[in-house]
Amino acid sequence: MKIVVIGNGMVGYKFCEKLTAKAQPGQFEIVVFGEETRPAYDRVHLSEYFAGKTADDLTMAGLDWYAENNIRIYLGDPISYIDRDQKTVRSHHGINESYDYLILATGSAAFVPPIPGVEKEGVFIYRTIEDLEMMTTYAKKAKTGAVIGGGLLGLEAAKAMIDLGVTNTHVIEFAPRLMPRQIDEAGSNILKAKLESLGLSIHTSKNTSEILGDQFITGMQFSDDTKLDIDMLVISAGIKPRDELAKLAGLETGHRGGIVVNDRLATTDPFIFAIGECALHGGMIYGLVAPGYEMAEVVATNLMGGDKSFTGFDMSTKLKLIGVDVASFGDPFVSVDEGRSIVLEDRMKGVYKRVNISPDGKYLLGGILVGDAEQYNMLLQTTKNKVVLPPNPEDVILGARGGAGNEGGAGVANLPDDALICSCESVSKGDICKAVCDGNETMDSIKKCTKAGTGCGGCVPMVKDLITHTLKSQGKYVRNVLCEHFNYSRQELYDLVKVHKLQTFDEVLNKLGTGDGCELCKPPVASILASLWNDMILAKGNDTAQDSNDRFLANIQKGGTYSVVPRIPGGEITPEKLIVIGQVAQKYNLYTKITGGQRIDLFGAHVNDLPAIWSELIEAGFESGHAYGKALRTVKSCVGSTWCRFGLHDSVSFAIQIEERYRGLRAPHKLKSAVSGCIRECAEAQSKDFGIIATEKGWNLYVCGNGGSKPQHALLLATDIDSETCIKYIDRFLMFYIKTADPLTRTATWLNKMEGGIDYLRNVVVNDSLGIAEQLEAEMQTLVDNYKCEWKEAVENPEIRKRFTHFVNAPESKDPSIQFEPMREQKKAKEWK
Amino acid sequence: MIQEKVLTWFLACRTTDVPENGGVCVKYHDEQIALFNFSRRGEWYASQNMCPHRQQMALSRGMIGTQNNEPKVACPFHKKTFSLVTGQCLSGDDCGDIKTYPVKIENELVYIGIEE
């Protein structure tokens, strides 16, 4: 059977790919005619051409692919005539080919409105690589540019102009809002504000009446008698289906363009099909690539003897426009009688969310997301699969509020099996769960066997959730291995590193892992090494395995400066030391703030200044506060019995003793503690990883509390113990946590996952049920004995000190991109984009 | 059209100035280039220093590693990862790609290739 394909765009190519994949070799003879001189390329990512991608990078498949699949391809040679009686076509260069079936994939052209002056030099359309090349040349002499069209393509073109260096760019939209097909007016206003903050000038409700200039464009005249001086104009006001060949052949076309097709994509001639942007199906032109691909699939399947129909396509879309997320799904503009809408608008953050809900409040009909489209996938699935909404439907955009453990009722578990998870490759939830049951238990193997997540990648988090969910529902133990380089959990790795006495990241990787490591395994391994041996963390070989903050012994902040937190044990500080902190802050122009942990944080330090700042602090008797590390942070205290009329014991002295004992202790996550001098609990000890509260007879020890996003009260581990026993128990508790917790797991989460919970933990720590108490205490004592202030070591070691520069080849220069803004007599980091 | 690009080799620093398996930032006129010594692989890489996600000059302080044997760097701010070979963002979101530069070592000196 002989197939002739007219048009070699994305959809024309996809058709060839799908048909050759389905067919036996030699089953079809395929001939392709393309108007452009290049084989099909990725038009969707055309703007990446400016970001450094070459024409070759954008190519869908090279000419060798067509040769390998025995497809004859004629480029730069459009078909000029179809003889339907003889079933032949004739090309512009006079090539004649007969066909059994003819596929029209002629695509669309840019729609150019009939404005006087569009023929002037400096006026472009934005459609092909040639257009881009011409724009690139012209843009070199242009300073001010404009784009007609504030839709999806128009805004893409505006981004292209910025990429070309035409920074002063105007967007002219005829409609009263941007992206009129996808978003409503409120969404458009948020998008407009965001784009304007990025340097674009946006004009809506603006009708261009004339393009000014002689040979070259010099400006635009609008119908409201205003004018704009510009050097360059791109018209991107919509598309026009390429149906002229079909019209000439007598096929039915729509009166506003497009080749009329039925559900099998056949035109009025049963031997001729039309697919992609040239096809008019159900009165609609589909100007996106995904429906075009679906059309290619339908025709290819039917040519193979299958039975498939095209029944319309969901036009939901999510994209990033010049860095701003925009998504629209289902019916974005439900009217009052069809349903009701819930709207969240945050002009400060530039976020707009609207969901449309059926009148009975049960189903999601569609919606709009601007500025934050993270929930797009889940909302789209909820809409498509008619998942019943939670009792408070606003939870789907706001997240569940109040009440612990309430997940809002719309997680992956609630989706039906036919829910489409990956829309690029049409993979359903059922397909993924089945693949997991068949033994494909990693993201990589799911990608290989189902192709899910291989397209835009937007569904990857959902696929991961599905893998975990399916494994758990099978009762499988989900073992948390570190990453692709280590097939061990953190606990296993801790024991192995200890047994083999490994000292550096490379030794651990050589002995226990594969490959070269990554940002997922380096910090936990570095943390294990620090917890085991307590060597200087910046010692050669381990320095670059430290997480970023540990590598510079300071917390990186917005803008790239660092913050400095000296240790103030128990929150007790002398006036002399307070004065030194003030002087240092003044000298290095630092923003100062009291932290929640009774310390003082100094922000805005250049990396170059860190060693000098710390030298001065150390000189005055300070040491590192480890605010940058997954380590013991602070032991907070109330003033205690020395001053307080209610105090039972001296909570400050005990807090200082505890803080100095565990300072610098590296753990799977940060550790916080507090000591309160009586039951009034002013130090908030029950919200800490370990908290101590004075009683008449001694101390009560609480463990595994946690503030943060999911607050959890600490649980009582032991009552009325003396100071010595208290420290013994804390030694055991902390060492047990360090040895067994997963990376980045706080003590509260660690306990929540522990079988047997607090009773089991109490048995291990207090009753020594595992017989390891003595060992745990000894291990802790080694760490305590090995403690050194790492900032002191850093400033005294010229090799390490040298690393605290921004430019390796200009060590004296600071990062010139760092900017501050004044605020309340101090400064703050410049807001990022 | 693919054209053979003309490269200028810019002397950045000595090999010993760059920590093993780590990066430094190199000043080239008004540009900031992140230079990485992937000593475990015996390879050198260079890219723009700015992370495209939040426009922070930070990639040189990021952690390097591999993903399916492809060398990459993770930005210290939000752990967005980028291929050091192609510059492509590997984090599965579209925060944008980064520019990469060729690097050569001669007599223990590091040179970065800049397109003219």
Question: pLDDT, tens digit, for every residue of A150-187?
Answer: 988 888 888 888 888 888 999 999 889 998 888 998 89
Domain boundary (A212, A237, A262) is at: A237
Can you read off the two tokens belonging to residue A246?
A: 């079909």
Q: Which domain holds residue A559?
A: 547-625+805-833
Q: Which of B41, B54, B58 sits opposite A833 (nearest CB)?
A: B54
In a domain, A482, yes or no: no
Residue A261 has what pLDDT?
96
Q: Are residues A228 and A100 in the same domain?
A: no
A 10 A CB-CB count for A750 gives 19
Q: Which residues sit opposite A673 in a β-bridge?
A: A635, A690
Q: What is the mean pLDDT of residues A588-596?
A: 94
Residue B96 has what pLDDT?
86
d(CA A33, CA A435): 40
Question: To which H or E segment does residue A366 belong?
Answer: strand A364-370
A565 and A602 Cβ atoms separated by less than 8 Å? yes
pLDDT at A32 over 60: yes
Domain boundary (A237, A269, A284) is at: A237
Q: In this structure, are strands A108-110 and A351-357 parallel, antiparallel, or unpaired?
A: unpaired
Q: Identify from B10, B47, B53, B61 which residue to disrupt to test chain A contact, counting A C-beta atoms within 10 A and taking the largest count.
A: B61
Q: What is the mean pLDDT of residues B63-87?
A: 92
Rounded to a whole number, what is the distance in Å from the CA of B15 to chain A's nearest CA?
11
Tell me whether residue A638 is annotated as binding: yes
Residues contacting A824, CB < 8 A, separation 6+: none
Q: Are residues A691 and A577 in the same domain?
A: no
Which residue intervals of A520-641 are DSSP H helices?
522-533, 548-551, 575-587, 610-619
Q: Of the given ranges (A81-85, A193-197, A333-337, A757-761), which has the lowest mean pLDDT?
A: A333-337
- CB < 8 Å from A in window 16-55 of B: 17-22, 24-27, 30, 32, 35, 38, 40-41, 50, 54-55
Q: In this structure, are strands A108-110 and A239-241 parallel, antiparallel, or unpaired?
A: antiparallel
Q: Are residues A83 and A118 in the same domain?
A: no
d(CA A523, CA A505): 10
Q: Which of B35, B38, B57 sits opposite A817 (nearest CB)?
A: B57
A190 and A347 Cβ atoms separated by less than 8 Å? yes
Residue A667 has what pLDDT?
92
Q: Contacts of residue B58 in chain A, CB cutoff 8 Å?
A: 556, 560
In a domain, A798, yes or no: no
d(CA A540, CA A546): 11
Tell me whether residue A682 is annotated as binding: yes
Using the Cβ of B102 and the Cβ atoms of chain A, whether some distance falls under 8 Å is answered with no
d(CA A681, CA A137): 71
Q: Are residues A514 and A663 in the same domain?
A: no
Residue A543 has what pLDDT?
86
Residue B93 has what pLDDT?
66
**pLDDT top residue among A317 and A682:** A682
Residue A401 has what pLDDT?
47
Residue A458 has what pLDDT?
65
Q: Which of A320, A516, A808 sits opposite B94 (nearest CB)?
A: A320
Q: What is the mean pLDDT of residues A194-206?
A: 88
Q: Are residues A648 and A748 in the same domain?
A: yes
Can you read off the two tokens belonging to residue A733?
A: 């508790």
Residue B1 has what pLDDT?
44
Q: Are residues A182 and A252 in the same domain?
A: no
In a domain, A428, yes or no: no
A 10 A CB-CB count for A94 gives 8
Can you count the helices (H) and strands (E) in chain B? 0, 12
A630 and A669 Cβ atoms separated by less than 8 Å? yes
d(CA A481, CA A514): 13
pLDDT above 90 as % of chain A:
52
Residue A400 has what pLDDT?
47
B55 and A833 Cβ atoms separated by less than 8 Å? yes
Rounded to a whole number, what is the distance in Å from the CA of B9 to chain A's nearest CA?
15
Interface A-B: count of C-beta contacts within 8 A: 115
Q: Which residues sit opposite A132 in a β-bridge?
A: none
d(CA A311, CA A268): 18
A800-832 pLDDT tens trace: 888 899 999 998 889 988 889 899 999 898 887
A149 and A236 Cβ atoms separated by less than 8 Å? yes
Q: Are residues A781 and A715 in the same domain?
A: yes
- Nearest Cα residue in chain B from A816: B30
A 10 A CB-CB count for B70 gives 14
Q: Of the given ranges (A401-415, A563-577, B54-68), which has the lowest mean pLDDT?
A: A401-415
Residue A336 has what pLDDT?
74
Residue A455 has what pLDDT?
64
Q: Are residues A15 and A78 in the same domain?
A: yes
A602-647 pLDDT tens trace: 999 999 999 999 999 999 999 999 999 999 999 999 999 999 988 8
**End-to-end Cα, chain A, rounded Å:** 56
- Nearest Cα residue in chain A from B38: A516
Residue A745 has what pLDDT?
84
Residue A399 has what pLDDT?
62
When pLDDT is cut at 50, 70 and 90, the band that residue A81 belongs to is very high
Q: What is the mean pLDDT of residues A234-255?
A: 92
pLDDT at A26 over 70: yes
Q: What is the mean pLDDT of residues A77-101?
A: 94
A307 and A26 Cβ atoms separated by less than 8 Å? no
Domain boundary (A250, A284, A303) is at: A303
pLDDT, averaged across chain A: 88
Q: Which CA distances in Å does A180 have to A176, A194, A673?
A: 8, 17, 55
Q: In this structure, are strands A699-703 and A690-694 parallel, antiparallel, or unpaired?
A: antiparallel
pLDDT at A475 over 90: no
- Nearest Cα residue in chain B from A373: B93
Q: Are residues A696 and A708 in the same domain?
A: yes
Q: What is the mean pLDDT of residues A389-399?
A: 74
Q: What is the mean pLDDT of residues B67-89?
A: 91
Using the Cβ of B108 and the Cβ atoms of chain A, whether some distance falls under 8 Å is answered with no
Residue A498 has what pLDDT?
86
In a domain, A391, yes or no: no
Between A490-499 and A505-512, two packed helices, what is the crossing angle to 10 degrees? 100
Q: Are residues A695 and A611 in the same domain?
A: no
Buried b (16+ CB within 10 A) or exposed e, A179-217: bbebbbeebbbbbbbbbeeeebebbbebebeebbbeeeb
Q: Are residues A251 and A233 in the same domain?
A: no
Indicate which CATH number applies to the domain containing A288: 3.50.50.60
Q: CATH classification of B18-115, choosing from 3.50.50.60, 2.60.120.10, 3.20.20.140, 2.102.10.10?
A: 2.102.10.10
In a domain, A474, yes or no: no
Residue A405 has what pLDDT?
34
Of A464, A410, A467, nearest to A439 (Cα)? A467
Q: Which residues sit opposite A98 in a β-bridge?
A: A88
Q: Cα-atom radius of gyration of chain B, to the nearest Å? A: 14
Q: What is the mean pLDDT of residues A703-707?
A: 91
Q: What is residue A830's DSSP assignment?
A: P
When pLDDT is cut at 50, 70 and 90, the band that residue A473 belongs to is confident
Q: Are residues A553 and A536 in the same domain?
A: no
* Phi-psi group of A286: left, alpha or beta (phi > 0 → left; psi -120 to 50 → alpha; rest → beta): beta
Q: Which of B1, B30, B41 sits opposite A516 (nearest CB)?
A: B41
Residue A626 has what pLDDT?
94
In a domain, A328, yes or no: no
Strand positions, DSSP E, A681-736: 690-694, 699-703, 715-721
In a domain, A389, yes or no: no
Q: Of the given ranges (A23-27, A202-206, A420-424, A434-438), which has the lowest mean pLDDT?
A: A420-424
Q: Of the given ranges (A153-157, A301-305, A307-311), which has the lowest mean pLDDT?
A: A153-157
Q: What is the mean pLDDT of residues A511-531?
A: 90
Residue A28 has what pLDDT?
93
Q: In this structure, are strands B63-67 and B70-74 parallel, antiparallel, or unpaired?
A: antiparallel
**What is the residue whose two structure tokens read 């006001």?**
A237
What domain count does chain A have? 5
When pLDDT is cut at 50, 70 and 90, the band that residue A410 belongs to is very low
Strand positions, DSSP E, A88-159: 88-91, 96-98, 101-104, 108-110, 123-125, 144-148
In a domain, A357, yes or no: no
pLDDT at A531 over 90: no
Residues contacting A619, CB < 8 A, separation 6+: none
When pLDDT is cut at 50, 70 and 90, the band that residue A406 belongs to is very low
- Residue spans of the domains in chain B: they are 18-115
Residue A479 has what pLDDT?
66
Q: Which residues sit opposite A90 in a β-bridge?
A: A81, A96
Can you read off the two tokens belonging to residue A55?
A: 């024409």
Residue A33 has what pLDDT?
96
| ipTM metric | 0.89
